[in-house]
Chains A and B, each alone.
Chain A
């Protein structure tokens, strides 16, 4: 055991609604460990045994976390949990859920049967600066897409090339309608690049720190 490791703990990837029985997602967890659910009231944390250590920003580790959540969300509505949440035992997980129970219940109601989709409007490379009215452009996108989405959230512009960045929470049955609306906007604004991504876990619509009080710390 390296000095930074303190034995084995339980890593939580996300939360789903309890199905009343243990669900097994296969050996896809850290170190190829089995990923499965343990029930707490009407929720089921998706977990695997994992080293009790600090989960640093390592691409491989982040990919394990993300791919588990991707697999789980194929059939379940998920409440994402922050990367790196490993607990000493079940008791502490249940205590954490119990503390945040109301918030988790509210979050689940919001994301149930929905997925997150992302839209970015990007200024093409070497193109003259977008001379249209950015406010009108944003409004056009927002109004068109809001009609087929349950919730929307404008996000920060992390690049000078970005004109707009937004996430939408969309009911699973309305994904096709949402995609058609995006396609229409793409055709209308063919001088701009539209980046359409997803489905994502609803990272931007629930507090992913739902089980944590301190990022990356183990409990």
Chain B
């Protein structure tokens, strides 16, 4: 809602320095989350850990621990991505199609 309001004000040619600052912080936060919860990066780490385990470079217990943690991160990341997708779907008004 904030972004729409913000864009609306911009459209009218109104700039509010405070709001702009919040907007920048909002973008930075989104960027940080995207970096932290990039599913592709986590998938790469899962594959790498598996490869190193198969090459006997990681002990079984270490592999299990690391893999469980990465899977937990991937689940969170996918949930975050899905949440974003859902927002977009709802805007298009077809969110209920497969429910």
User: Chain A: residues with CB nearer than 8 A to chain B?
Assistant: 56-57, 59, 120, 122, 125, 158-159, 161-162, 193, 195, 213-214, 216-219
Residues of chain B in range 35-59 having any CB-CB distance to chain A below 8 Å:
43-44, 47-48, 51-52, 54-55, 57
CB atoms of B44 and A159 under 8 A apart: yes
Q: How far is the CA of A214 from the CA of B78 in the complex (A)?
A: 13
Closest to B46 in A: A158
CB atoms of A57 and B51 under 8 A apart: no
A–B Cβ pairs within 8 angstroms, 13 of them: A57-B71, A57-B74, A59-B67, A59-B68, A59-B71, A120-B51, A158-B43, A158-B47, A162-B51, A195-B51, A195-B55, A214-B98, A217-B98
| Residues on B with beta carbons closer than 8 Å to the beta carbon of A162 | 51
CB distance from B97 to the nearest CB of A (A): 9
What is the predominant secondary structure among interface residues of chain A facing chain B?
A: loop
CB atoms of B51 and A122 under 8 A apart: yes
CB atoms of B75 and A159 under 8 A apart: no
CB distance from A24 to the nearest CB of B (A): 30
Q: What number of B residues sit within 8 Å (CB to CB) of A?
A: 17
- Which 8 A-B pairs have CB atoms at the shortest separation, nearest pair first? A158-B44, A159-B48, A158-B47, A217-B98, A57-B75, A219-B98, A125-B57, A57-B74
CB atoms of A57 and B78 under 8 A apart: yes
| Residues on A with beta carbons closer than 8 Å to the beta carbon of B74 | 57
| Residues on A with beta carbons closer than 8 Å to the beta carbon of B47 | 158-159
CB atoms of A195 and B98 under 8 A apart: no
| Residues on A with beta carbons closer than 8 Å to the beta carbon of B51 | 120, 122, 159, 161-162, 195
CB distance from B70 to the nearest CB of A (A): 10
| Residues on A with beta carbons closer than 8 Å to the beta carbon of B43 | 158
Q: How far is the CA of A56 from the CA of B74 in the complex (A)?
A: 10
| Residues on A with beta carbons closer than 8 Å to the beta carbon of B82 | 216
| Residues on A with beta carbons closer than 8 Å to the beta carbon of B98 | 213-214, 217-219
